Amino acid sequence: MKHIDVKELFFNSENYKNKSVTVCGWVRTWRDSKAISFIELNDGTCLRNVQLIIEKDKVEENSVKLALAVGTALCVIGDFVPSERNGYEISVKEITVLGECPTDYPLQKKHHTLEFLRTIPHLRPRTRYFEAVFAVRNELSYAIHKYFHEHGYKYMHTPILTGSDCEGAGEMFRVTTQPWDAKYKTEQEYYDGDFFGTKASLTVSGQLEGEIAAMGLGKIYTFGPTFRAEHSNTTRHAAEFWHIEPEVCFADLHDIIEIAEDFIKSIIKDVINNCSEELAFFSERAEKGLIDKLNSVISSDFAKVTYTEAVEILKKSGKEFKFPVEWGCDLQTEHEKYLTEEYFGKPLFVTDYPADIKSFYMKLNPDGKTVAATDLLMPGVGEIIGCSEREADLDKLKAAMQKRDMSLDAYTEYLDTRKFGSVPHSGFGLGLERILMYITGVQNIRDTLLYPRTVGSL
Ligand code: 4AD
């Protein structure tokens, strides 16, 4: 069906001025008077609707009658003419109704609550809010690929099905093709007859395979779905989220922190440059002052504090935290909030966490107690990046695994990377939805995904 995108019409309007154009889309709103009808048509290519002016005596009567219903899909031919109110509008000559829309279409009102829209995920892309979310999500994904491509990283596709517990980053979803049967005496007997002949799961992270690729290709990144089965029913946790994980050889913690900051600023800059309408929309609908916030993030340095210093700051804060703070404890949301929103008031790298609360693969610091790891905390959304220098020393890595009762046999290939030509290397993981929440001001991760998967909701 030959037609012109509404975005193209508005962005290159001079090319179409006073010419006959064909556009397609869905009716967002309509008004009717005796001689003229007005339709706001949206085709999803940009936030803006194109206004259709229908002089009733010039257009076939029945097609006009059918077109005047919210949600109806139309193909329209008309002249693209300048207008005082709308910049441009289409003076309609012909309407073809592609799909009628009965009155039980749930999106009759101009605004619906996000809670209500979550009950109809299949229709959310037809709303302005979700058009904006998915436009920014798209631009952000492109900016991420662009950054790594321009900096010489190779994009790796790491497996989603995995036989290893990866890194203990989170609870895993099991994958099986065979039903449970009481005839199995042991777990092993059950898995022996399964598709892979062993226990299989959905990966929580592509990092370990990413490290294997980087230990030959120098620097790589992954960008794919990962899965977490924790029962964390919060506004920031999804069971399926998109994970960006660069892995860089010949880089220590300081190098990777520099890369992470440069990367975050670069992708935010790209979104500011390419999504101005969407960001203006979100600063009205989701977070006042959003654009100023983003501009200030890209123009100032992120703060840095060690975990040990952070604990001291929290203890001296005079705040009554629900979870008391002691050296060795995991920082809770309330602690992260205080540090990044009240104390530092900007994005914050917390570094050098106690080894006991972090993963086995993180490089042990000379103090023997802490690891060369950092979390990047953002005001409003908390942790968006988990990052570390990896333990490159084979004996220390084995010791860290044994301390956690991990089976070395299950990791022989991973350990080989330390046995054969080990090098210092570092990497991080960024949750796409978390940075999207930060950039748009969207408060709930359920509103950043087409079909969010969360506890009890598939
Ligand atoms: O801190 P995490 O668990 O780190 C890893 O998985 C490492 N393997 C990363 C690496 O070094 N390559 O997760 C990294 C990031 C978090 O900071 C957060 O942004 C996101 O992944 N994330 C989630 N996002 C949405 N829902 C969840 N349930 C998430 N869990 C983690």
**Tokens encoding 69:** 């219903």
Are 302 and 261 a contacting pair, CB within 8 Å?
yes
Residue range 405-456, pLDDT digits in tens: 998 998 999 999 999 999 999 999 999 999 999 999 999 999 999 999 999 9
What are the phi and psi torsion angles at 116 (to 5°)?
-65, -45
| CA–CA dist 456, 458 (Å, integer) | 7
What count of other Cβ atoms lies within 10 Å of the Cβ of residue 271?
A: 23
User: Which residue minimizes the CA distance to atom 3 of ligand 1?
Assistant: 169
Q: What is the CA radius of gyration of the chain?
A: 27
The CB of 431 under 6 Å from ligand 1? The reply is yes
User: From residue 374, how far is each of 31, 158, 259, 265, 358 by CA, in Å?
Assistant: 56, 23, 13, 17, 10
Q: Which of 146, 59, 147 is nearest to 95 (CA)?
A: 59
What count of other Cβ atoms lies within 10 Å of the Cβ of residue 99?
A: 9
The CB of 241 under 6 Å from ligand 1? The reply is yes
Q: Which of 221, 215, 222 is nearest to 250 (CA)?
A: 215
CA of 41 to the centre of ligand 1 (A): 40
What count of other Cβ atoms lies within 10 Å of the Cβ of residue 310?
A: 24
* Average pLDDT, integer, range 329-347: 96
Are 156 and 222 a contacting pair, CB within 8 Å?
yes
Task: Indicate the helix (H) or strand (E) that contains 81.
Answer: strand 73-83
| CA–CA dist 80, 290 (Å, integer) | 34
The CB of 336 under 6 Å from ligand 1? The reply is no
**Dihedral through CA 319, CA 321, CA 325, CA 330, nearest 10?**
-130
User: Which residue minimizes the CA distance to atom 2 of ligand 1?
Assistant: 386
The closest-lying atom of ligand 1 relative to the alpha carbon of residue 376 is 17
User: How does residue 167 score in pLDDT terms, banded at 50, 70 and 90?
Assistant: low
The CB of 427 under 6 Å from ligand 1? The reply is yes
What's the pLDDT score for residue 168? Answer: 60
CA of 442 to the centre of ligand 1 (A): 19
**Dihedral through CA 448, CA 449, CA 451, CA 452, nearest 10?**
-70
What's the pLDDT score for residue 399? Answer: 97
Ligand 1 pocket test: which of 140, 156, 165, 205 has the largest number of ligand atoms within 8 Å of its C-beta?
205
Kindly report the CA angle at 268 between 225 and 274, in degrees rounded to 5?
Answer: 100
The CB of 424 under 6 Å from ligand 1? The reply is no
What are the phi and psi torsion angles at 227 (to 5°)?
-135, 135
- Is residue 175 helix, strand or coil? strand
What is the end-to-end Cα distance of the chain in Å, rounded? Answer: 35
pLDDT at 166 over 60: no
Are 331 and 284 a contacting pair, CB within 8 Å?
no
Residue range 16-39, pLDDT digits in tens: 999 999 999 999 999 999 999 999
The CB of 373 under 6 Å from ligand 1? The reply is no
* Average pLDDT, integer, range 143-160: 98
User: How does residue 133 score in pLDDT terms, banded at 50, 70 and 90?
Assistant: very high
The CB of 265 under 6 Å from ligand 1? The reply is no
The CB of 430 under 6 Å from ligand 1? The reply is yes
pLDDT at 156 over 80: yes
Task: Indicate the helix (H) or strand (E) that contains 227.
Answer: strand 219-227
The CB of 385 under 6 Å from ligand 1? The reply is yes
User: How does residue 136 score in pLDDT terms, banded at 50, 70 and 90?
Assistant: very high
| CA–CA dist 214, 389 (Å, integer) | 13
pLDDT at 103 over 70: yes
- Is residue 120 helix, strand or coil? coil
CB-side neighbour CA atoms (13 Å) of 97: 18
Q: Which of 257, 277, 157 is nearest to 217 (CA)?
A: 157
The CB of 244 under 6 Å from ligand 1? The reply is no
